[in-house]
A and B are shown apart, each in its own frame.
Chain A
């Protein structure tokens, strides 16, 4: 086993343990937990069995397994950025609502 494989395995095991802790603390939704468990298990399996990744990537028309990994990560990151953007917009809306409620409440209190 190569050194890099060991590093990835240790990190994946750590990440997986964090996922389980978050599930225990009910910080993750069902679908999210399922996704992250599957994701890190896939990384572990891919690291242990590089040949399988090789076969998968060739069948998808990508010559090198490493390229497939990069593509997958770019897609994943793009998705996560999108989710973050949506969440941020949502949070901004909530802040505005709070600020508005306070503004109107303060004015109404003055006239009571």
Chain B
């Protein structure tokens, strides 16, 4: 039986995490890793009692760092497939199978979720920022993606071994794309739905507000010039 691990980076998500874990279990995914990234609330306890494998960062290190911790753990446990999934319930667990399908069929080694390949309502300001991100990825890495900053990804074991997230904070999304490109990992974009609720929009502001976008962009520039 092939092992699929779902990796969720969570920061102060005690209100959402149980629902997310239960919905994943309902779809038949039982290897769920929740990396509690130094939450101030009871995220890790709640996740554990919901039945997830819980890894706790003793201090907050950022989403990139948390995802890498989850991936390292999954690889140590011989995961065949690793799925990155959001903690706030904006992704649909039913779509994991579409993300994994091309990898299981060995067509590609990585799939990236794209909200723009599916017709859906996206708040205007969010759309503007995401399009900016797509443009930045195109300029810096010469990769044309339809949605560059989607947290819904699936990787094969070999792809997960090749990708090492070094960016601790939010710029990991760009870094993963960059590594997929530089390490010549075959990838495909898969249409996914993103549920925008008050909660998910608030969370988005936590990491990808306009000020954070500038910070991410400046880090990308610094990295490009070798700093």
Contact = CB atoms under 8 A, between A and B. Distances in A.
Interface in A57-112: 82, 85-86, 92-93, 95-96, 99-100, 102-104, 106-107
A86 B68 CA distance: 22
B227 A100 contact: no
B139 interface: no
B65 A107 contact: no
B166 A100 contact: no
A106 B72 contact: no
The A interface, classified by DSSP as helix, strand, loop or mixed, is: helix
A107 B57 contact: no
A96 B61 contact: yes
A100 B68 contact: yes
B69 interface: yes
Contacts of B69: 99-100, 103-104
A69 to B, nearest CB: 28
Interface residues of B, number: 19
Interface residues of A, number: 14
A94 to B, nearest CB: 11
Given A85-B227, A86-B227, A95-B61, A103 B166 contact: no
Given A100-B69, A103-B73, A107-B54, 20 more contacts: A82-B227, A92-B168, A93-B166, A93-B168, A96-B168, A99-B38, A99-B57, A99-B58, A99-B61, A99-B69, A100-B57, A100-B61, A100-B65, A103-B56, A104-B55, A104-B72, A104-B73, A107-B53, A107-B55, A107-B73
21 contacts: A82-B227, A85-B227, A93-B168, A95-B61, A96-B61, A96-B65, A99-B58, A99-B59, A99-B65, A99-B69, A100-B61, A100-B68, A103-B35, A104-B69, A104-B73, A106-B55, A106-B56, A107-B53, A107-B54, A107-B55, A107-B73
Interface of A: 82, 85-86, 92-93, 95-96, 99-100, 102-104, 106-107
